[in-house]
Amino acid sequence: MMPTSRANFLPEQRFLPLRPALQEHLTKIGEAISPENFLSICDEMLLKVLRDTFDRISADEGSIWLLDQEKKFLVATYNSGPNSEKIVGFKNPLSEGIISLVVASENAFIENQVYKNKRHSAALNKKLGKTTYAMIAVPLYFLNQVRGVISCVQLFDVLIEEGQAAPVGETPPGFSPQDLNAVQTTAAVVRDLIDYRLIGTAIGW
């Protein structure tokens, strides 16, 4: 077995006086990123990492939700599923739904039979004519701030009988804690890829 050692790197002293200027510039970049231009900072590798994760955990679709610049809505800026044209651009008020709670608390969320959860907003389901059976939602960070949410869902059809939703057809398998961990890991990779690209842009790499 090859012996291993730890690489120790220290900040370059010549760069330290430039740190405040770099942080100020990155703050301006972060403020300029909007739901309309977000995908322009995401390359195909980043989106492939997302799609592969959603496929691996048997999600029917996954989305990136970004805070708008007025901090009033979470806007769907990317969706991996067949209904992406209907989903991208959808605005979820910050006062409604589980994804808004994820942004406010900065805590991840996982639940099966989420359609029974009173905090779940059915507005997008009504637009698609589908019902969400299971959901994972995790905070999306970049440039040291929470900027939105990465979510994924399993969908199914229901029939409303006497005010209650009854499943029609096969029930999805649901998500597991391991699936949540996979999405959280992917969110961290997405964060690092975006940070690397924006820092590289800021210093002219």
pTM above threshold 0.85: yes
Task: Identify whether the C-beta of residue 135 lies closer than 8 Å to the C-beta of residue 149.
Answer: no
Task: Identify whether the C-beta of residue 108 lies closer than 8 Å to the C-beta of residue 138.
Answer: yes
The CA distances from residue 90 to 22, 82, 87, in Å, are: 34, 15, 5
- Of the pLDDT bands very low, low, confident and very high (cuts 50, 70, 90), residue 163 is low
Task: Choose among 73, 51, 46: nearest CA to 62.
Answer: 51
Task: Choose among 18, 5, 15, 26: nearest CA to 143.
Answer: 26
Range list of H helices, 77-172: 84-87, 98-105, 123-128
Q: CB burial class (10 A; 0-12, 13-18, 19+) of residue 118?
A: exposed
Tell me the C-alpha distance between 43 and 62, whole Å. Answer: 17
Tell whether the model's pLDDT for residue 107 goes beyond 90. Answer: yes
Which helix (H) or strand (E) segment is 31 a member of? helix 19-32
Tell whether the model's pLDDT for residue 94 goes beyond 70. Answer: yes
Instruction: Please tell me the predicted confidence (pLDDT) of residue 109.
Output: 98
Instruction: Please tell me the predicted confidence (pLDDT) of residue 191.
Output: 98
Tell me the C-alpha distance between 49 and 103, whole Å. Answer: 22
Instruction: Please tell me the predicted confidence (pLDDT) of residue 166.
Output: 65
Tell whether the model's pLDDT for residue 165 goes beyond 70. Answer: no
Instruction: Please tell me the predicted confidence (pLDDT) of residue 2.
Output: 86
Instruction: Please tell me the predicted confidence (pLDDT) of residue 169.
Output: 72
Tell whether the model's pLDDT for residue 25 goes beyond 90. Answer: yes
**Dihedral angle sign, alpha carbons of residues 78, 81, 85, 88:** negative
Instruction: Please tell me the predicted confidence (pLDDT) of residue 157.
Output: 84
| Residue 50, SS3 per DSSP | helix
Q: How many percent of the chain have pLDDT more than 90?
A: 82
- Give the dihedral of Cα atoms 103, 22, 41, 97; nearest 10 deg: 10
Instruction: Please tell me the predicted confidence (pLDDT) of residue 102.
Output: 98
